[in-house]
Homo-oligomer: A and B are copies of this chain.
Amino acid sequence: MPTVSSEELAAAAGVNSAKLRKDFSYLGSYGTRGVGYDVEYLVYQISRELGLTQDWPVVIVGIGNLGAALANYGGFASRGFRVAALIDADPAMAGKPVAGIPVQHTDDLEKIIDENGVSIGVIATPAGAAQPVCDRLVAAGVTSILNFAPTVLSVPDGVDVRKVDLSIELQILAFHEQRKAGEEAEAQAGAAAPAERGDQGEGPDGDVPAVMPA
């Protein structure tokens, strides 16, 4: 498929084609009127804009189950991320390979950051260790942190933190589940069929419907 129209892409993504065209237009005029978008060129332009064509060395601190899962996650490499190092506080872990990368000890954190030119750190430690690890990462020059620990991190200005709470997604599902149950009960009692959202509910976009008074 050498070219694709905004209509096709919009249908695939579940959005309005005008919105898709407007969004693309912010990147430049990469489409051809009467034809559509050249797929290869479009992919390249979007990749470039998102930073996928760059090489981003990252370190993962805290090699428990989650850290190991992240180290093994295949999706990183294809998006320009390179796991430069795995770091853990447990001396017993040191040297052990995880996902083919030997785990290094926390003592060497600063050296590792420096030598690899790392600007993005992933924290997958227990809650208690997160803030100290964060402080050391920042002091060593990391300016973006992805935090999986259930703690709110404080960082100086200029450092970005994103917190991932694995239970939030479950909670959103439970919320919808609860509403489904409520609507069923309502439908039985009442008459009109309740509207149901049919979108593909793609991950992190916080699309919880407004809560109206009962």
Chain A positions within 8 Å of B, measured between CB atoms, are 26-28, 49-52, 54, 56, 58, 64-66, 68-70, 72-76, 79-81, 119-120, 122, 143-146, 150, 152, 157-158, 160-178, 180, 196, 198, 200-206, 210-213
- Shortest CB-to-CB span from A185 to chain B, Å, is 14
Which residues of the partner chain B approach A74 to less than 8 Å between Cβ atoms?
Answer: 150
CA distance A73 to B170 in the complex (A): 12
A211: nearest chain-B partner, CB-CB: B26
Give the oligomeric copy count. 2
Return the 7 tightest CB-CB contacts between A and B, nearest first: A204-B204, A65-B69, A66-B69, A75-B167, A144-B173, A51-B178, A205-B206
Which residues of the partner chain B approach A54 to less than 8 Å between Cβ atoms?
Answer: 174, 178
Which residues of the partner chain B approach A68 to less than 8 Å between Cβ atoms?
Answer: 65, 69
CA distance A152 to B12 in the complex (A): 11
